[in-house]
A and B are shown apart, each in its own frame.
Chain A
Amino acid sequence: MAVTATTPATRPPTATSRTGAAPVTAALVLLVAGLALVDITQGTAAVGAPEVWKAFTGQADPADASVVIASRLPRMTAGLLVGAVLGMAGAALQAVSRNVLASPDTLAVNAGSYFALGLTAAFGLSLPLLASSAFAFAGGLAAAAVVLVLSGLGAGTVRLVLAGSALTLGLTAVTEGLLLLFPRQTEGLYQWNQGSISQSGFDGVLQMAPIAVVGLVGLLLLARRVDALALGDDAARGVGVPVRATRITAVVLAALLSTAAVTLAGPVGYVGLCAPALVRPLARTFRGFTKSRGFLPAAGLTGAALVLGSDVLLRALVPSDVVVSVPTGVVTSLVGAVFLIVMATRVRDTTGAAATEQLRIRSRARFLTVTAVLVAVAIGVTVAGVLLGDSKLLLGDIVNWVQGQAGRTVTFVLDTRVPRVLAALFAGAALALAGTVVQAVTRNPLAEPSILGISGGAALSAVLLVTTVPMAGSWGMAGAAFAGAVVSSVLVFGLAARGGFQQNRLVLVGFGVATAAAALISLLIILTDPFNATKALTWLSGSTYGRSMPDVVPLVAVLAVGAAVAFARRTELDLVSLDEDTPRLLGLGLGRARLGFLALAVLLTATAVAAAGTIGFVGLVAPHAARALVGRQHARVVPVAVLLGAVLVCAADLVGRTVIAPAQLGAGLMTAVIGTPYFLYLLVRSRG
């Protein structure tokens, strides 16, 4: 898989200049210094360049001087530190995993730290900075370890990004559940999760600096061994480098660096991904950067320039009263997402069809049994969903309700509960169908609508509608979600179209779009409804709250069409999912067929998002489990996947509505809790 297995640290043939590295480093230092100076002159207090100058020369009035010393300088230092540390962590992670997409974000380090901090906040622990960063470190390291071990160290594939993003989704879902459950204890955590370099005094910076220094020195000491890894594991062993120990040490050090950044500023996204990537072209020209000893500091400087640059840009563009609530991390995430997309469209994609599943042929009897059992379970879950809730009902109540003879309370309860159960059922079914189609078309068993950015686009557009037109109806919501899904999928599939929707590029571009959508949604919430984050969070966590029958109608209509098309075109689905050549030999227009199927998946995803918010993992888990149960013929996979999806979301919704009643958790959150371990299990199984 050449896309991620490029080994930039090996001597590139174009490395011509021996002496160029010093001037380039000097230029980087100058750039960072310039940005740092500009950053000091920006802020909410009326302390601009002249006052800063006076403060430095000791002539300013004490108030201005204290602003410079206790607020501006710490912020600037924090920006420097965070950027440098993240840049180096990213460079180290990319070197040891031989994967240009490894970074604190894609290894779920940030999500792990966020989760650990959310947990401490929810339990009402108000810890000193060092203790809370110890928690964050444990969380971040654990997450990185899980991702690296499960995706296979050095395997260097898109699976790393997928594993990392899946774990990020799962952990973020749980953390956001904590935010909903403990809105007061966790106040500020949501904004903190966007990453902001503001500081109150030098305390935080001073406490984190030693950790950063330990990480930095450790990495530099390790640099020679890390370089040896670039030659390949066997060659490295040949020259006496302990491969495993080197990797583990580097990952621990990188996690240490990222946690220092995370506890200081919250997750400032994608600096660890972008900074090394920006330095890489330099390494082709200047020999000084080809070795880690040169590369790591250069990546650190670039990271610092990225963070400070984002902060300067933000403060220059947005009025200072507003800017305090717009975190730097949103800007770096947006920059990082665009960067990821550009990088994805430029990498060579030489991947063939990688069959990661070995599936046995299943008998027809097995298919019939599985389907029958699933139908029974689906009916059971539906009935349980209708009976259970804040007030428990009995079957006789339903009979009364159906006959229109139920009393006031039962009527109301069922009037509100039945649409929710149906919305969950059909949203699950639609997402599972969309996932089946997407996985067939991309031939990537780990792809799904939310990872491809389709759900994100739909959600962004729907949140936009909710914040501007609060009274929007169900068809309006479905329409907005569809428009957003179309825009995002045109972007994703359009950019990935070169070379006919090849799988790696598609997934990477999709992941970039999903990231950008998430950053824009955060920005939208912060700017339009700063005191009601719960409202948008609720919606984004995939909830059936407040659904009524009219909301379910568009979903049922689209699902019916989708199921009919999938059934009618089952043979084409089989062919498309097989490989590149067979469909062509059989005279099937591959591009057209794929486009048609993808359009169907977009439609299904959008209506599901409009009806029940963003529910991840269903589109991933259901088709996969279906293939494992009944083989890979789509005539069998489709009905089983659809049933599984319906059961999964309906059960998740039921649990979310009942465990902490009368408060409730979104169904999307529950599916993430169920889906993440399953996804990780899939990765372990498919590793061989």
Chain B
Amino acid sequence: MKRLLLTTAIATTAALALTACGTTEPAADDAKKSAEPITLTDSTGEKVELDGPAKKVVGTEWNVVEHLITLGVDPVGVADVKGYKTWDTAVPLKNEPKDIGTRGEPSVETVASLKPDLIVATTDLPPAAVKQLRKVAPVLTLKAADAADPIGRMNADLDAIAKATGTTQKSEELKKQFQAKLDEGKKKLADAGLAGTKYAFADGYVMSNQVSIRPYTSGSLIGAVNEKLGLKNAWTVKGDPAYGLGATDVEGLTKLGDVQFAYVGNDGDASSTPFTGVLAKDKVWTSLPFVKKGNVHRLPDGIWMFGGPQSMSKYVDSVVTALTK
């Protein structure tokens, strides 16, 4: 034990001696920029002050990353890049951003080393981490979701990011396009005689012969889009106050009755596709009226259910195609 301790001490000292006394950066630098300063208030009531439109931006959640890309600002840092590439192909990354760690615990140090002008975070991040990030750069903390007004929330987040990055024109454009997409989708569905169709969207996970299903209630972003399309949300389950997501099991689907059922899975994640896997043999599932009639639709992978206008536009297209097929 003693020898071990001694060896460790010597090794540590040696390692330190070898790396000693250099520095990794020149002494303090103060580069001044000259642009119109921007001030805005974020969802936590905090004032965010910028010297000018932010160019080097870091995003800690996938929805804000999607907002950034659609606004034409390629983020320099993204949490869980691999996950984003798997789950959000509707709005692919155009550059090679630095991975800043997990969405729940992004590395403050890596963010600092990117020297960003702006960090866009959500209220899902621990307040302690936000507090530290504020020392690195201005942090725009947005509410990731609000079941009281999901689309309003999405637009407000988009606007806030647009204001901070000087791309307000683009965000107005995006919102108009999205509204047009909604109107177009609604018209197509109505033309096909599908207005007021009872419709249920979900995703599901399977683990050890147990299937859990997540209903997207009208408080979810997708649920709100469905209603704009003139579809009737068939879920009676109560969703959580932020994301509007509920929880149920296969039995719980019997309460849906005769509906159109749609889901998003992911080929890159085997546990996320129970509807074609385990449930294919499940008697409760196969005797559901909408399953019998073949009214189960798998929408394309890569639509991020909590994303921005682009993901939602792709969703609208997919639903319209699936239902009018």
Contacts and interface: CB of A to CB of B under 8 A. Distances in A.
Interface of A: 43-47, 62-63, 66-67, 69-72, 117, 121, 124, 126, 129, 132, 180, 183-185, 187-189, 191-192, 196, 198-201, 203-204, 263-264, 266, 320-322, 324-325, 366, 369-370, 373-374, 376-377, 380-381, 383-384, 387, 389-397, 399-400, 405-410, 412-413, 415-417, 470-471, 530-532, 534-535, 538, 543, 545-548, 551, 625, 628-629, 661-664
B22 A188 contact: no
A206 to B, nearest CB: 11
B252 interface: yes
13 contacts: A196-B210, A200-B282, A201-B283, A204-B208, A376-B13, A381-B12, A387-B19, A390-B110, A391-B24, A410-B24, A416-B108, A470-B127, A663-B105
A406 B23 CA distance: 9
Interface string B6-50: 101100110110011111111111000000000000000000000
A412 B136 contact: yes
B102 A663 contact: yes
A238 B283 CA distance: 57
A380 B13 CA distance: 6
B246 A62 contact: no
B262 interface: no
B279 to A, nearest CB: 7
Contacts of A534: 102-105
Contacts of B29: 407-408
A45 B251 contact: yes
B270 A393 contact: no
B131 to A, nearest CB: 7
B212 A395 contact: no
Given A384-B15, A408-B115, 12 more contacts: A71-B251, A183-B102, A187-B269, A192-B210, A201-B282, A324-B252, A380-B8, A383-B16, A389-B109, A391-B110, A545-B128, A663-B101
B110 A395 contact: no
Contacts of B28: 405-408
Tell which of A196, A625, A663 has the most Cβ of chain B within 10 Å: A663
Contact of B12 (A384, A393, A532): A384
Contacts of A545: 105, 126, 128-129
Contacts of B131: 546, 548
Contacts of A532: 104, 124
Tell which of A264, A470, A538, A662 has the most Cβ of chain B within 10 Å: A662
A261 B207 CA distance: 15
B249 A198 contact: yes
Contacts of A543: 105
A191 B206 CA distance: 11
B8 A377 contact: yes
Nearest to B214: A531
B102 A546 contact: no
Nearest to A46: B255
B245 interface: yes
Interface in B58-82: none
A45 B110 contact: no
B269 A185 contact: yes
Contacts of B128: 545-548, 551
B221 to A, nearest CB: 14
Contact of B9 (A377, A397, A471): A377
A393 B16 CA distance: 11
Contacts of B249: 44, 71, 198, 324
Interface stretch (B163-171, B284-292, B307-315): B284-292
A324 B27 CA distance: 58
A409 B248 contact: no
Interface string B261-292: 00000000111100000110111111111000
Contact of A374 (B5, B83, B284): B5
Tell which of A191, A390, A548 has the most Cβ of chain B within 10 Å: A390
Tell which of B1, B110, B207, B252 has the most Cβ of chain A within 10 Å: B207
B146 interface: no
Nearest to A189: B207
Tell which of A46, A67, A629 has the most Cβ of chain B within 10 Å: A67
B94 interface: no
A325 B247 contact: yes
Contact of A187 (B23, B205, B254): B205
Contacts of B240: 530-531
A321 B248 contact: yes
B227 interface: no
A173 B284 CA distance: 37
Given A70-B283, A531-B240, A44 B255 contact: yes
B223 interface: no
Nearest to B243: A531
B225 interface: no
Contact of A70 (B86, B132, B209, B282): B282
A417 B124 CA distance: 22
A394 B9 contact: no
A258 to B, nearest CB: 15
Contact of B254 (A46, A191, A390, A547): A46
Interface residues of B, number: 84
Contacts of B208: 117, 129, 132, 192, 204, 263-264, 266
Nearest to A64: B254
Contact of B210 (A72, A199, A535, A664): A199
A417 B284 CA distance: 54
Contacts of B86: 184
A46 B253 CA distance: 10
A370 B255 contact: no
B242 to A, nearest CB: 8
Contacts of A628: 1
B211 interface: yes
A185 B271 contact: yes
B238 interface: yes
B44 to A, nearest CB: 9
A67 B284 contact: yes
Contacts of B287: 62-63, 66
Contacts of B269: 184-185, 187
B167 to A, nearest CB: 26
Given A407-B28, A413-B112, A396 B207 contact: no
For the complex of A and B, the 10 pairs showing the least CB-CB separation, nearest first, are A380-B12, A70-B283, A546-B128, A44-B252, A662-B101, A396-B23, A662-B107, A188-B207, A412-B112, A204-B209
A374 B279 CA distance: 59
Tell which of B83, B102, B279 has the most Cβ of chain A within 10 Å: B102
B322 interface: no
Contact of B19 (A66, A395, A546): A395
A407 to B, nearest CB: 5
Contacts of A183: 83, 102, 104
B20 A391 contact: no
Given A199-B210, A321-B238, A664 B24 contact: no
B185 to A, nearest CB: 28
A67 B250 CA distance: 9
Contacts of A263: 208
Tell which of A199, A374, A397, A545 has the most Cβ of chain B within 10 Å: A545
A625 B5 CA distance: 12
Contacts of B251: 43-45, 47, 67, 71-72
B325 interface: no
B250 A71 contact: yes
Contacts of B230: none
Contacts of A191: 207, 212
Given A395-B16, A408-B29, A413 B113 contact: yes
Contacts of A124: 270
A43 B249 CA distance: 9
B307 to A, nearest CB: 16
Contact of A188 (B13, B83, B212, B248): B212
B107 to A, nearest CB: 4
B101 to A, nearest CB: 4
Contact of A396 (B12, B21, B105, B243): B21
